[in-house]
Structure 1
Amino acid sequence: MDAEIEDLMRQGLAGDRKAYARGLARLAPRMRAMALRDLPAPMRHMAEDVVQEALLSIHLKRGSWDVSRPLMPWVRIITKHKAIDAIRAGARRQHEPIENHAHLGAPEVDPLESLHIEQALARLSDRDAALVREHAVHGADAETLSSRFDLGPGALRVALHRALRRLSDAARKDEEWKPTT
């Protein structure tokens, strides 16, 4: 399999965009396994972030790979460094798995509050707003969200967690700026 990935990456470096995309697609699961091995158990939820960061780094540095040498050791080093970066950053962040909030379904929404909700969602990117709206307002389950947003279960949890965090941060900023009367 390594030889196949290397061949696709070489074709990609030679200008074959489809081969390059196939090479990265075949590389991602291998990198995910590397990231899972590199991350301590409490931080394994960050594996997808590590993979995405490593893929971006590989893309940006693809010209530095010596095609006469094996690809996987080069990929391994990049992935390991991204995992170390994630561990360092994770020590400064808290993670709250979405599974801990299974009781949160579609809340009852007061019609007068819908304007406030839409104003809050307007502060998010279109994708984040749609994800939060589908989950929190319309009560879409994980399977529906995964299908609708073309995300795997892990990526869905990460995306939803980040969107909810951004929404929370926006709400907190609103509270800080409210005039006192």
Structure 2
Amino acid sequence: MATTSVPALDLALIEESAKKSALVWVRGPEGPDRALWHVWHDGAVCLVGDGPAEQPLAGLGLVHQGTATVTARSKDKGGLLVVWPARVVELSPDGEPWRAAVAELAGKRLNAPDAVTIAERWARECRVLRLEPAGALLEGPGAMPDGPRAAAPLPTAATTRRPAPAGLPKLLLRRGRRTG
């Protein structure tokens, strides 16, 4: 089902990087990149989300027939490997493509609260998306940007802890000597 305008070498690199990595970073028309777990199935990255117990897709602006940018990392080094454009396809729960994608996703879903009835819950409460490669690599081996790619942290209500009390290191050192 993948678009034929993707060069064969690019498609092979996209497929291998998506198959070997547990996460991809997805950026929709809205919001920053978000790390999402996925499976590679039938020529596309498949995602499930937006349900109460699933990963959030809201805020990315991923809509049927829309676009997204997908970033995959290298399995061995963990660094950026490829960035590619994708076409978003939302699968309907009453179709065979949805059932096939859900069968793959359910097998990879860790710690599901309802492993036996997960497909029914996903049909009722979640969205299943396919991100199909839609063109040549935007970044890849030999064509990476030179500058830093670090992004500013997102705003949050979380705070850092207070400084450790001055006497704590001395207490911990004394405790270590007694048990050692």
Q: TM-score, normalised by structure 2?
A: 0.22
Structure richer in strand, relative to its length? 2
- Greater fraction of residues in helix: 1
Structure 1-normalised TM-score?
0.22
